[in-house]
């Protein structure tokens, strides 16, 4: 045994394509009930991740959610639009894992 701590899982943001620790990203899940933002990362179903950075969310929106549809394997345009609206509300003003608060106005 080497004595090293286990590494946190790493996921890739669908906006900027940057690999980050899973808990530094916001999850979106495709569940049987539809596509939803999953800030607790506990919803069942296929997931995709986006940075808490409003620029990453804007990048996903500019591409009409194509990356999100691809990552979640097939949700419809309206489902993706609703999920992007949920993400916008969460990303606009939130507490990031390091304890700081980011706001679109800051």
Q: What is the pTM of this model?
A: 0.77
Query: Could you write out the DSSP letters of every residue in 21-62?
Result: EGGGEEEEEEETTEEEEETTS--SSEEEEEES-HHHHHHHHH
How high does pLDDT run on average in the chain? 82
- Structural domains of the chain sorted by starting position, each given as residue range(s) with its CATH number in brackets: 10-95 (3.30.1230.10)
Q: What is the pLDDT of residue 75?
A: 80
Is pLDDT above 50 for 105? no
Q: What is the per-residue pLDDT across 4-29, written as a single tens digit (0 to 9) for each?
A: 777 889 999 999 999 999 989 999 99
Q: What is the pLDDT of residue 92?
A: 67
Contact 48, 11 (CB under 8 A): no
Percentage above 70 pLDDT, the chain: 83
Is pLDDT above 70 for 102? no
Q: What is the mean pLDDT of residues 72-94?
A: 82
């Amino acid at each position: 045994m080497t004595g090293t701590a286990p590494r946190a899982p790493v996921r890739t943001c669908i906006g900027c394509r940057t690999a980050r620790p899973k808990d530094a990203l916001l999850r979106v899940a495709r569940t049987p009930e539809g596509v939803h933002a999953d800030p607790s990362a506990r919803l069942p179903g296929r997931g995709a991740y986006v940075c808490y950075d409003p620029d990453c969310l804007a990048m996903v929106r500019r591409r009409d959610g194509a990356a999100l549809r691809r990552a979640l394997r097939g949700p419809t345009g309206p489902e993706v639009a609703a999920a992007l609206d949920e993400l916008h509300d969460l990303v606009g003003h939130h507490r990031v894992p390091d304890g700081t608060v980011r706001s679109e106005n800051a």
